[in-house]
Amino acid sequence: MEEIDIMIFDLDGTLVHTGYDLAASVNHAMKELGLFPLPHERIMGYVGDGVKKLIERSLGDRFPDLFDEAMSLFMDYYGEHLLDTTDCYPGVSEVLEHYNNKNKLIITNKLYSYTLRIVRGLNIADHFDEIIGIDSREYKKPDPRLIRSVIEEYHSVERRTVVIGDGHNDVLLAKNAGAISCALLNGLGLRDRLLSLQPDYACEDIRELIDLFY
């Protein structure tokens, strides 16, 4: 087991399963634009680099002509439906309680306002010292400055800081900053891509963290 001071969690696909609400919101925009809906699983594969990339990838060759309208439709709908089916993954509350004495943060490429509403709605907000959304800093994952500022703020070091997430940006964020990388393989990210990045740890279930870090 490795001793840690700071735990940095991703949100979508790591702590909470947001995929179906995101997919429904994308397909609402597609329908309003007179376009065919996309399979939910395909849309979930587009998640991880922020909403702009999500819409760009969903539009495909219709980008950029319909981008602004699609973004507006998506944002309005998702703002009303972001907790329709979204819930914590099994074991999340157990893990957060277990590490009650550690500094815990969320760093996500999701908008801060949406992130805050979700974690408050699911009653896990009080577990986190800080929430950093894609619009909270001038840089985003996998920029290592996100971690370096956190390490300095909480008076720790890179190898006592772990980044836990289901996306390639989470693994790259840790590696770029010299922190510990822990990939979750049961989220929205592509399993083979995650493993190809050779994270320090790879877990099938978030509860495995309890046996890895203290």
Number of helical (H) and strand (E) elements in the chain, helices listed first = 9, 8
CA dist 134 and 91 (Å) reads 26
CA dist 11 and 187 (Å) reads 10
84 CB burial (10 A radius; 0-12, 13-18, 19+): exposed
Instruction: Tell me which of 5, 10, 87, 135 is the catalytic residue.
Output: 10
Catalytic residue list contains 76: no
CA dist 154 and 4 (Å) reads 12
* H-helix segments, the chain: 19-32, 40-44, 51-59, 67-81, 92-98, 112-121, 145-153, 168-177, 191-196
CA dist 127 and 178 (Å) reads 25
- Would you name the residues annotated as active-site residues? 10
